[in-house]
Structure 1
Amino acid sequence: MSALTGLLYAVLLTYLGGWYLGHWTGNFSLLLFLLTVATGVYWLAERFRFAPARADAARALEQQDAQRREQLARQGITQVDGSLDEARRRVLAQPWWLDWTAGLFPVILIVFVLRSFLFEPFKIPSGSMIPTLAIGDLILVNKYHYGVRLPVLHTKVIDNHAPQRGDVIVFRYPVDERIDYIKRIVGLPGDRVAYVNKRLSINGQPVARTALPEFYDEDSLRYALQFEEALPRAEGQTHRFRILNDRDRSGFVLPMPEFRGPKDACSYTAEGVSCTVPAGHYFVMGDNRDNSQDSRFWGFVPEGNIVGKAFFVWMNFGNLGRIGAFD
């Protein structure tokens, strides 16, 4: 078993090393599931086979020691060398391959449950969501807000809230589902979303926006136009958030060859794009409008690709002041 455990650890380290060096794309959800299953098997084996076997061996050792002392006592020898406690401790000691598998199972199980059904951490790798989220923000995603899904399979088993315009969501990128993206929902199923001349409209109604002071991006060392948009939501409510525009770029976009969705759902002009969101899909955009690869380029997000609702920055090592909830 020690050789098998060593082989499994070698495979795990090779996989993680190749993932870290960029030789292949990892699937952390699947990896965590497999680790939970593997360590769980070891934990069950330890609980019902290996630990009882060691306990039986310790009892046998005690019986042998008692018999030996009894024989020596009949010969008049009462002082016996040797420590039974030390020998018993060695017999009961858990071998390294169980300590590093069965011993880790409770921790891995807790992480698996929390990450799969409650909250999952993500790191913001790009500036597409500036000014709401900055590069390097470590965020939490609510996994149960839109319903409970089975890990790895992503099948929804319990429904919850429906996604709303203005929600910031993490989702599996439709072009390559091994990659997670984060964007803001601007269009619901059935909506007609238009982004023409850098102005957003929903179902023919321009989204209200208010000019704010220019935003200085410390990464690009440039100023950008900043606005507050008010997306319409249910029952006359609005959702307000900030967006950026690059004054030096036009609103012209072209669809990617890998566009996901009905081919006739979107129409493109020199001024922008208009799309009708298919049933069961969502139209998403980055808040940094001119620096975001989003639904304008690659299409729509299927409901089944949504991972959860992003809601909290729990750490940014370069700026601790960013810690807190966002909307």
Structure 2
Amino acid sequence: MASQAAKPNGFIETVKTVVYALVIAGVFRTLFFQPFWIPSGSMKDTLLIGDFLFVNKMAYGYSYASCPSIYLPGIGIDIDAADICGFLDGDNSRILGGDPERGDVVVFRHPVTGRDFIKRLIGLPGDTVQVTNGVLIINGTPTTVEQAGVFEEISEPQGPQGHRPRCANGPVGEGGVCEKPRFTETLPNGVSHDILNIGTQGSDNTPVFTVPEGQYFFMGDNRDNSSDSRVPTLVGGVGFVPYENIVGRADRIMFSSAGRSMLYFWTWRADRFFKGIS
């Protein structure tokens, strides 16, 4: 009598399927695109809190920062990219490396904390960068800035962290219209983008920064509400960012949620589906 083949264990097969799916997802996220959800308003109005996008990792090649970081403090998970790909860390180089261009919107790892940030690339290696009376000056030449109306939003908690917007017409009560003057800034290579202004503050006047070789200088488009390269890491800022800390380029918004979670589909912003980032 012929013996029957043993039936596969359903639980084991399920575990194998999950493991295979996780491996494939990990490879995809490491080599090609990383999902990123905008948690703060430092890049308004280019990027809003709740924008969901994929970061193009192929744009600049690969380094240790290309490996995913998993940070879930609520359940005690904190896996750093260096924990997985630390063997690639330390020489400030990249595999199949490409050069970021001034004006790119870039995700990078903070030089000290390792957390992912997203800002606009302003200064390349060897550049001098300064802000005087709110005007960005690159290599001694002021950028062109033109008025572009007013950016308006509702004064209310935004995103899962409940951030409230800062307003140029403040203080604004709950549910009121928060306004910020908007300008179009044109960089030396011809890239134009919107920036916002809230008021006069210390970050509107900086010393001259000289960007070291192998490092980059980043700023947020919401200039008065951004922790960026204008402030050194020793006092809570970003400082210069090493080449190897770059994760990738943000090219397009997939969708955007105005609610406390991206799963609240009824709060998705209809005008931001597949919107290009410039």
Both structures adopt the same fold (TM-score exceeding 0.5): yes
User: Is 1:239 the counterpart of 2:191 in the alignment?
Assistant: yes
Residue 149 (structure 1) shift: 3.4
User: Is 1:141 the counterpart of 2:91 in the alignment?
Assistant: no
Root-mean-square deviation (Å) = 1.9
> Alignment partner of 1:106: what SS?
helix
Please, which of 46, 53, 76 is the counterpart of residue 132 of structure 1? 46
Please, which of 263, 271, 285 is the counterpart of residue 205 of structure 2? 271
For structure 1, which runs of at least 5 residues remain unmatched after alignment? 1-60, 64-87, 254-269
Match of 1:103 in 2: 17
Match of 2:142 in 1: 206
Residue 95 (structure 1) shift: 4.2
Please, which of 246, 250, 256 is the counterpart of residue 310 of structure 1? 250
TM-score (norm 2): 0.73
Match of 1:229 in 2: 185
Confirm or deny: 8 A CA contact 1:196 1:274 kept in the other structure: no
Confirm or deny: 8 A CA contact 1:197 1:272 kept in the other structure: no
> Alignment partner of 1:103: what SS?
helix
Confirm or deny: 8 A CA contact 1:132 1:242 kept in the other structure: yes
Q: What are the residue-to-residue correspondences of 1:247-326 with 2, within 5 Å?
A: 247=199, 249-250=200-201, 252-253=202-203, 271-297=205-231, 298=237, 299-317=239-257, 318-323=268-273, 324-326=275-277
Structure 1 counterpart of 2:269, which letter? N
Residue 99 (structure 1) shift: 2.5
Please, which of 123, 128, 141 is the counterpart of residue 187 of structure 1? 123
TM-score (norm 1): 0.63
Q: Distance in 2 between matches of 1:304 and 1:160?
A: 10
Confirm or deny: 8 A CA contact 2:194 2:221 kept in the other structure: yes
Match of 1:85 in 2: none
Match of 1:175 in 2: 112
Confirm or deny: 8 A CA contact 2:119 2:219 kept in the other structure: yes
Structure 1 counterpart of 2:271, which letter? G
Confirm or deny: 8 A CA contact 1:198 1:272 kept in the other structure: no
Confirm or deny: 8 A CA contact 2:132 2:206 kept in the other structure: yes
Structure 2 counterpart of 1:296, which letter? R
Residue 225 (structure 1) shift: 1.3
Please, which of 127, 141, 153 is the counterpart of residue 85 of structure 2? 153
Q: Distance in 1 between matches of 2:154 and 2:112?
A: 31
Q: Distance in 1 between matches of 2:27 and 2:94?
A: 15
Match of 2:8 in 1: 93
Q: Distance in 2 between matches of 1:141 and 1:218?
A: 28
Q: Distance in 2 between matches of 1:229 and 1:157?
A: 31
Match of 1:115 in 2: 29
Distance 1:271 1:131, change over 3 A: same
For structure 2, which runs of at least 5 residues remain unmatched after alignment? 68-83, 156-164, 166-176, 232-236, 258-267
Distance 1:223 1:157, change over 3 A: closer
Q: Distance in 2 between matches of 1:195 and 1:157?
A: 31
Structure 2 counterpart of 1:158, which letter? I
Give aligned-pair identity as a percent: 39
Match of 2:174 in 1: none
Structure 1 counterpart of 2:135, which letter? R
- Structure with max Cα Rg: 1
Q: Distance in 2 between matches of 1:157 and 1:186?
A: 20
Residue 157 (structure 1) shift: 5.4
Q: Distance in 1 between matches of 2:96 and 2:154?
A: 41
**Between Structure 1 and Structure 2, how many residues are aligned?**
218
> Alignment partner of 1:227: what SS?
strand
> Alignment partner of 1:225: what SS?
strand
Structure 2 counterpart of 1:197, which letter? N
